[in-house]
Structure 1
Amino acid sequence: MTKQRRETIEIEIEDMAQGGFGLGRHNGRPVFVPYTIPGERVVARLLPQGERVLRAEGVRLVEASGDRVYPRCPHFGPGKCWRCQWQHIDYSAQLLLKQDTLTDQLERLGGIREDVVRPVIASPEQWGYNYHMALTAIDGGGFGLPSADGRTIAPVDTCPVLHPDLMALYSQIDLSLPGLRRMKLAIDSDAAAMIVLYLSDEEAPDLETDLDASVNLLLPNNEPVNLIGESHSRYRVHDRVFRVTAGSYYRANARQVPVLVDWVLKLLDLAGDEFVLDAYGGVGVFSAFLAQQAKLVTLVESYPPAATDAEVNLADLDNVDVIEGTAENAFGVLDGEYDAAVVDPSSGLHDDVIAGLRNLNVKRLVYVSGDAAALARDCKRLQRVGYRLRVVQPLDFAPQTYHVDAVALFVQ
């Protein structure tokens, strides 16, 4: 560690960077400081990092922002849990910062200079909104969440963004299993609780519990094994109920999902005679409502249990086909043309997906994103094959964090 890296400096926080860090400058170089807000002046201690950018830890707040509030969680702060990065920021200011961060990512990484980003739609709940959360097992017992250094796990005994019923369940759990890596707690629209255990062992353990919760296991290959009670949860979106097997993906902020569905439909603006592709289709949430406005919907999902969930959830619809397989491989078997498509990738689009969208002559594409940087990079790639970004509607699925989801419309 050099002397410069130990240096204590006073800087002004000019902006908010991707990742939830406040951004200042020292000798012309960017400095990332957690738990700060644009407009604040702080005394910070530089940490050993790379030569191009610097990271620092806050030592003293010199000038506070009017948007600073007292955090609700005792585990929030330096050296503690990093699950939430923005509990110190007023919620209305969080929404503005998320919009600014998304706009900045689109401009810097995607080359988008037009004013296409709409104001962020707030979450129905700012606290207790997570209907499921995964916690990491700690050596010696207990569970925790990642800390800011990305290497250590911070023990937590309470979490104000976790659904209150799950917090009550968590407080009752006393569990120690060989090979236990993680534990996910989930509660569905019927208030039915589930515990999902992630083990490094291939063999399912014998378990008994007096907790009011189902228990499922995910093997190292992500195969779900039902141990106690139900094998799946049920989530309600508008007038439909969706089965979600342990291991299948469903957004944690369940009350915001209907808003997301409505925006996907609004941006696609279907007339009723279209062929629509739902890539990365999951358990069929989008397809269920697309089918009501389209002639035919083709859903593609790579995770076998989720594809099975989709078949069950969409069994009453005769204009939906479910294909089990990766999105990139599916384009090798799809033929004809598709008028519209929805993509909801976890971390950006595969090259073959982008080429396939163009080859199928998809005219309207709705991109659902949970990663602003990936969306921005894919914007540039989609533009190269003839798509233009028309509008981006951000939605807040994760209050008290820097994360922002978005629905983007591309047209040929």
Structure 2
Amino acid sequence: MSGLRVSIGDMAHGGDAVGRHEGKVIFVPFALPGEEVLVELIEEKARYSRALPLEILSASPQRVEPRCPHFGICGGCQWQHVAYEAQLGFREEILQSQLKRIAHLSDVSVKPSLSMTNPWNYRNHVQLHSDEAGQLGFIAATEHRVVAIQECHVMHPLLFDVFVALDIDFPELKKVSVRAGTTTGEQLLLLETVGEEAPLLEADLPISCVLLLNDGTTVTYVGDNYVTERVAGRSFRISATSFFQVNTAQTDLLLDTVNQYLSPQGEEVLLDVYCGVGTLSLSLADKVAKVLGIDVNEAAIADAVFNSQGMKNVKFMQGTAEELLPGLEESVDLVILDPPRQGIHKQALAALLKLAAPKVVYVSCDPATLARDIGRMVQGGYELVEVQPVDMFPQTCHVEAVALLRARPQ
């Protein structure tokens, strides 16, 4: 077998392993640090190359047998070949590396990851695509096509039950999102089609079905347009298009970390930017004087308002952070940031720095944009105290982290 022999040294942000050949960086998926790998180059750039592994010549002791037969072809998981304890360590190293390289912070305290007892079958929400034959699956790991699947070991059983029971024969189907309230047993399908016709479907389950129209609005044609989930003793309505953490079990740990970092004393004003359905801030509403929440998603704000019924110290506002933060006149003591992968809009961050809240907790699912934004916040008068990884995405390369920042004394 011909190919290039590469020694693997590190794991990179994005999930690939990193090797070098004649001084040039080579990114190799499905390899591990310490391994010797025979690879085939598939892309060459001036500063780096990408390759696919042909043979593992010398295996790492951290290598394990993947549980799923689709692993390596399906792009849903990137690290099933990695022992779980090693996955946790790689996440911590990636956080350290990104903070050093992008934010120029070399002495950051990154705590050991908060792990799962059972790091399988945890996802309460998946998005499936339809292939040319009408079969459902995930986008492929190394090319842009749909890989039809027969099993999935990160889906919660409530999701997989829907996947198995689902029978849709509709050529114009594009995507199917399956969502479940893992603590309530509620199940929901969100269908996206080329046109705006609802497909006929069969499923031997009491499930809600919603059609997402091309203008972003939804039409409910079976059941409700939401599921309910319970976290930290509180119920949350989550509409079909609203954001909610994909790992319900770990969300309790996430909430505990945010609460510990903010340590509210009862008199503060708490600002929750990118608040979603209110998961983080509503769990702290009885510990502060006032909660202000901002999110661009209209459905999520409607959910947050519904979820805050009976709370007189809560106000949610719909709009982008960059639109609403500059006009915020209230003095703020505590801030929660939980942006999408793109991180915080530059204008929103500038407005946030002007608010000069004493404590900010940044919840991130992308180490690179976390490091970028923290670097800007450090330049703007904050210090990074520590970072706590919370393992929300076992078997994947995704990294969830909670960072505590404090305003430096003037």
Residue 114 (structure 2) aligns with: 121
1:86 is aligned to 2:69: no
Most deviating of 375-384 and 216-225: 216-225
In structure 1, which of residues 20, 29, 37 is the aligned counterpart of residue 15 of structure 2?
A: 20
- In the TM superposition, residue 125 of structure 1 has moved relative to its aligned partner by 2.9
* 1:367–1:408 Cα contact (<8 Å) kept: yes
Which amino acid letter does the alignment assign opposite residue 361 of structure 1? Answer: A
Task: Identify unmatched segments of 5+ residues in structure 1.
Answer: 1-5
Counterpart Cα distance in 2 of 1:316 and 1:342: 22
Counterpart Cα distance in 1 of 2:247 and 2:5: 38
Residue 112 (structure 1) aligns with: 105
Superposed CA offset, 1:203-224 (max 9, x none): 5456665433111112223222
Q: What do you get for the CA RMSD once the two structures are aligned?
A: 1.6
- In the TM superposition, residue 375 of structure 1 has moved relative to its aligned partner by 0.2
Counterpart Cα distance in 2 of 1:91 and 1:310: 35
Residue 387 (structure 2) aligns with: 392
1:267 is aligned to 2:265: no
* 1:179–1:201 Cα contact (<8 Å) kept: yes
Counterpart Cα distance in 2 of 1:386 and 1:43: 48
Counterpart Cα distance in 1 of 2:259 and 2:68: 37
In structure 2, which of residues 221, 234, 238 is the aligned counterpart of residue 240 of structure 1?
A: 234
Counterpart Cα distance in 2 of 1:356 and 1:46: 45
Residue 160 (structure 1) aligns with: 153
TM norm structure 1: 0.95
Residue 323 (structure 2) aligns with: 329
Residue 359 (structure 2) aligns with: 364
1:71 is aligned to 2:66: yes
- In the TM superposition, residue 43 of structure 1 has moved relative to its aligned partner by 1.0
Counterpart Cα distance in 1 of 2:235 and 2:132: 39
Aligned length: 405
Counterpart Cα distance in 2 of 1:355 and 1:70: 47
1:291 is aligned to 2:291: no
Counterpart Cα distance in 2 of 1:260 and 1:200: 37
Superposed CA offset, 1:379-406 (max 9, x none): 1111221111111000111111111100
Which amino acid letter does the alignment assign opposite residue 349 of structure 2? Answer: I
4+ aligned runs moved over 6 Å, structure 1: none
Q: Secondary structure at the match of 1:411?
A: strand
* 2:162–2:203 Cα contact (<8 Å) kept: no
Counterpart Cα distance in 2 of 1:197 and 1:69: 36
Residue 309 (structure 1) aligns with: 303
Counterpart Cα distance in 1 of 2:158 and 2:303: 25
In structure 2, which of residues 386, 396, 404 is the aligned counterpart of residue 401 of structure 1?
A: 396
Task: Identify unmatched segments of 5+ residues in structure 2.
Answer: none
The structure-2 alpha-carbon separation of the partners of 1:146 and 1:49, relative to structure 1 and needing over 3 Å to count, comes to farther
Counterpart Cα distance in 1 of 2:184 and 2:211: 21
Which amino acid letter does the alignment assign opposite residue 86 of structure 1? Answer: W
Residue 378 (structure 2) aligns with: 383
Residue 3 (structure 1) aligns with: none
Most deviating of 372-381 and 44-53: 44-53
* 2:71–2:77 Cα contact (<8 Å) kept: yes
Superposed CA offset, 1:197-246 (max 9, x none): 12232454566654331111122232222110121100101111000010
Q: Secondary structure at the match of 1:162?
A: coil
- In the TM superposition, residue 31 of structure 1 has moved relative to its aligned partner by 0.5
Superposed CA offset, 1:325-378 (max 9, x none): 111111133103211110110021111211111222211111000011110111
Residue 34 (structure 2) aligns with: 39
In structure 2, which of residues 206, 213, 223 is the aligned counterpart of residue 212 of structure 1?
A: 206
Which amino acid letter does the alignment assign opposite residue 317 of structure 2? Answer: I
1:134 is aligned to 2:106: no
Superposed CA offset, 1:5-37 (max 9, x none): x97211111000111111100111100111111
Q: Secondary structure at the match of 1:299?
A: strand
TM norm structure 2: 0.95
- In the TM superposition, residue 120 of structure 1 has moved relative to its aligned partner by 0.8
Counterpart Cα distance in 1 of 2:292 and 2:64: 47
Counterpart Cα distance in 2 of 1:219 and 1:386: 44
The structure-2 alpha-carbon separation of the partners of 1:124 and 1:282, relative to structure 1 and needing over 3 Å to count, comes to farther
* 1:16–1:97 Cα contact (<8 Å) kept: yes
Which amino acid letter does the alignment assign opposite residue 22 of structure 1? Answer: A
* 2:168–2:200 Cα contact (<8 Å) kept: no
The structure-2 alpha-carbon separation of the partners of 1:208 and 1:45, relative to structure 1 and needing over 3 Å to count, comes to closer
* 1:116–1:392 Cα contact (<8 Å) kept: yes
Which amino acid letter does the alignment assign opposite residue 59 of structure 1? Answer: L
1:258 is aligned to 2:252: yes
Most deviating of 174-183 and 268-277: 174-183
Which amino acid letter does the alignment assign opposite residue 322 of structure 1? Answer: F
* 1:123–1:395 Cα contact (<8 Å) kept: no
Residue 271 (structure 2) aligns with: 277
The structure-2 alpha-carbon separation of the partners of 1:11 and 1:208, relative to structure 1 and needing over 3 Å to count, comes to closer
Counterpart Cα distance in 1 of 2:2 and 2:22: 12
Most deviating of 7-16 and 304-313: 7-16
- In the TM superposition, residue 48 of structure 1 has moved relative to its aligned partner by 2.7
Superposed CA offset, 1:93-140 (max 9, x none): 110111111111111111111132111111243111111111111122
Superposed CA offset, 1:157-197 (max 9, x none): 11011112321221121213243211011221211111111
Q: Secondary structure at the match of 2:165?
A: coil
